[in-house]
Structure 1
Amino acid sequence: MQQLVKRHISKYIEQQKSKFPIIAVTGPRQSGKTTLLKNIFKDYRYISLENPDVRAFATEDPNGFLNEYNNKVIFDEVQKAPLLFSYLQGIVDESKIMGQFILSGSQNFHLMQGITQSLAGRVALFKLLPFDLSELKANNLLEDSFAETCVKGFYPAIYDREIQPGIYFTNYIQTYVEKDVTELLNIKDLRAFRTFIGLCANQAGQLLNLSALANACNISQPTAKNWLSVLESSYIVYLLQPYYENFNKRLVKTPKLYFYDSGLLCHLLKIKTSEALTKNRLKGNIFENMVITELQKQNYHNYLNNEYYFWQDNHANEVDLLMSTDEGFSIFEIKATQTITSDLFKNMDKFEANASPKKVEKTLIYGGLENQKRSKYKILSWRDPK
């Protein structure tokens, strides 16, 4: 299986495979995990636990299964056979072989549960998300405008097989999202769940309002919380946490909701073209979603281990993205506009005043194409966020 787009994460996996007995790669379905691993580990056997016969073997006779597949093996969707994790622990502790097993999975909760319970300290863990902007740029696949890019999204199949985004995402929801849902939760009313996903899309880039989601779907708040956890576990949405340090003000402590892919987000909002996006009232939220997710992708794909937050006080002063640094903070304002005005910097300046005497690096990421380096600010095009 030939990899058409070189994934940045490849070199970091290569670096760690001689240092850990197990490499684990998690990420959304269809983000390219299987292709990536088959390209890096060409001499390894590939075993998919999606296959019912293989899964039955692994579940009913784990000793026999691991006698058969005991070295240089990729186990895909390994969370479907959770018994294997404790057996793998014993094997790698005894063998001391580095890179002995490669694990991958698209349900983060079950995969991480297996790793933390049985394999802690034995695994180098990676997250592979859909393409990031620099991967697309390097292969001349990046669209000219952020609106086109947002609507198209970043899933590899859209680029590799030139599938129309609308067709791809319709099938993605039916084939993968609802499949994961039925496996993780016994949801009898899929229509209500589809409504729930659509309402989550309307909250993208905003403070999470779980009670509003529950009321609109006519479900209880604990049910809404469970449904949201499934979407998180399946890499559809994620929550960005607020930064709590109190600069003598009351701070918002509710997380914000984002989608891992702007194309799926646009599809759920029934935005089918770049023209429709530019006229949509949620344009700013969608742009913010794309940029913040891009920075998360760079974080995971380049193995940086940064922790991102947002900051907002009770007067609605807000910083879209914040990262703590050794000297203070690196903060980002994210605006879809293509015109730079002084108003775009005022929230960052307010934060800097509150954070004093700590040093604050201020970056504006906007919808235009030109980068600028000013004395007090860095200004980056959406095509080059860093």
Structure 2
Amino acid sequence: MPAVALLGPRQVGKTTLALEVAESRPSIYLDLESAADRAKLAEPELYLSQHADKLVILDEIQRTPELFQSLRGLIDAGRHGGQGKQKGFPKKSGRFLILGSASVDLLKQSSETLAGRIRYLELAPLDAGEVPRDQLDALWLRGGFPDSLLANSNAASLRWRGDFIRTYLERDIPQLGPRIPAETLRRFWTMLSHQQGSLLNAASLARALAVDGKTVAAYLDLLVDLLLVRRLAPWHGNVRKRLVKSPKVYVRDSGLVHALLGIDDHEALLGHPVAGGSWEGLAIESLIGAAPPGTEAYFFRTSAGAEIDLLLKRPGEHKPWAIEIKRGLSPKLERGFYLACDTINPQHRRVVYSGSERFPLSENVEAVALPDLCEELAST
């Protein structure tokens, strides 16, 4: 087990997680946005060596990336018989829990400095496999950020998401390095929300923003690296078909989609053109989150119209799961799904829909509720 774990992104309930971890063993929590806590680490080796018998939780590590060098020395000293033995503390593993934003530079620096000493865990928003089934509609509307999902009202939830978007654009992203005008990045993020689940059309986005294609690619790379946008790759298997080569793009949290588009309640959501793409995005994030680590995710589309919304190839399996996503209680499959399945010959064929019962749609194809398919992917 690695000596250090890095969890991200910054905004998803990290303090709650840290407190839960702290309850399970002796620990000390340092918030590196606090001047007082940063002052304690003026001599990091001296201070941290005094707490070698505890789990040290370092929150907002992106504020002090220079700590990585000190952590490397302390970890190596513990591995070779230095600090860490007292009070039965396991000197070789689990000594530091590091929480921070998924900054590209931070991830690069931590991987270079702590190679072989660190394990990365992505802390994503809550998904359909993690909330009670009676909260699925609220999850869809409000998204999976805990403070948004559990707000007292839809209006309070929308205010939280609006504040989050503004803070992230105006404070957090500039602190991570990129110097992009906040309003420009917000416009780009909003454009992606309007096109939720569509094929990436970089030229169209570039024209709308009055920038070139390379700039659009840089903006997209940034949002993908910050775990705010998913770029779903097209299937690239060896099939004798003309496959679509452009990726599909999703804003990963449905609540942020709705906040960026000004959708404030279920009635407005159900009447908005983005409803189908928004539901599809929630389902995709939930299913990928439920699948075992190392699962590969794709979509399938040919120029002739054969299409599957999501292909999941789990570790050790030679054939993918073919998953079509439908919003509504009476899912109907188009001919393109069957044509795509004939080409790929998937291991399982599932249709996610908005109902709660499981039933066959045709031979080898089952309609399944989203939480049930999350459980199936996680357990089989």
Flag whether TM exceeds 0.5 (same fold): yes
Q: Name the counterpart of 2:182.
A: 190
Q: Name the counterpart of 1:90.
A: 73
CA distance in 2, matches of 1:132, 1:312: 26
**Any gaps of 5 or more consecutive residues in structure 1?**
1-18
* Residues 54/230 of structure 1: CA separation in 2 closer, same or farther (3 Å cut): farther
1:279 counterpart = 2:271: yes
* Residues 384/117 of structure 1: CA separation in 2 closer, same or farther (3 Å cut): same
1:104 counterpart = 2:99: yes
* Residues 267/385 of structure 1: CA separation in 2 closer, same or farther (3 Å cut): farther
Out of 128, 132, 137, the position equivalent to 2:127 is 132
Contact kept in structure 2, 1:45 and 1:72, CA below 8 Å? yes
Contact kept in structure 2, 1:49 and 1:80, CA below 8 Å? yes
Q: Name the counterpart of 2:358.
A: 371
Q: Name the counterpart of 1:236.
A: 228
Q: Deviations over 1:126-161 (max 9, x none)?
A: 112122223321xx7614xx4x54222221113444
CA distance in 1, matches of 2:45, 2:242: 56
Q: What's the TM-score, normalizing by structure 2?
A: 0.84
Letter in 1 for 2:356: L
Secondary structure of 2:373's match? coil
Contact kept in structure 2, 1:25 and 1:128, CA below 8 Å? yes
Matched positions, count: 354
Contact kept in structure 1, 2:111 and 2:118, CA below 8 Å? no
Q: Name the counterpart of 1:142.
A: 135
After TM superposition, the structure 1 = structure 2 runs for residues 331-342 of structure 1, keeping only pairs within 5 Å, are 331-341=322-332
Q: What's the TM-score, normalizing by structure 1?
A: 0.83
Shift of 1:216: 0.8
Letter in 1 for 2:78: S
Letter in 1 for 2:263: I
Contact kept in structure 2, 1:373 and 1:379, CA below 8 Å? yes
Displacement over 6 Å in runs of 4+: none
* Residues 384/242 of structure 1: CA separation in 2 closer, same or farther (3 Å cut): same
Secondary structure of 2:187's match? helix
After TM superposition, the structure 1 = structure 2 runs for residues 49-68 of structure 1, keeping only pairs within 5 Å, are 49-52=32-35, 54-55=37-38, 62-64=44-46, 66-67=48-49
Q: Name the counterpart of 2:349.
A: 362
Letter in 1 for 2:197: G
Out of 166, 169, 172, the position equivalent to 1:174 is 166
Q: RMSD in angstroms over aligned alpha carbons?
A: 2.5
Out of 90, 111, 116, the position equivalent to 1:116 is 111
CA distance in 1, matches of 2:323, 2:343: 16
Letter in 2 for 1:155: F
Letter in 2 for 1:328: K
Letter in 1 for 2:238: N
Secondary structure of 1:281's match? coil
Contact kept in structure 2, 1:74 and 1:103, CA below 8 Å? yes
Shift of 1:324: 2.2
* Residues 107/117 of structure 1: CA separation in 2 closer, same or farther (3 Å cut): same
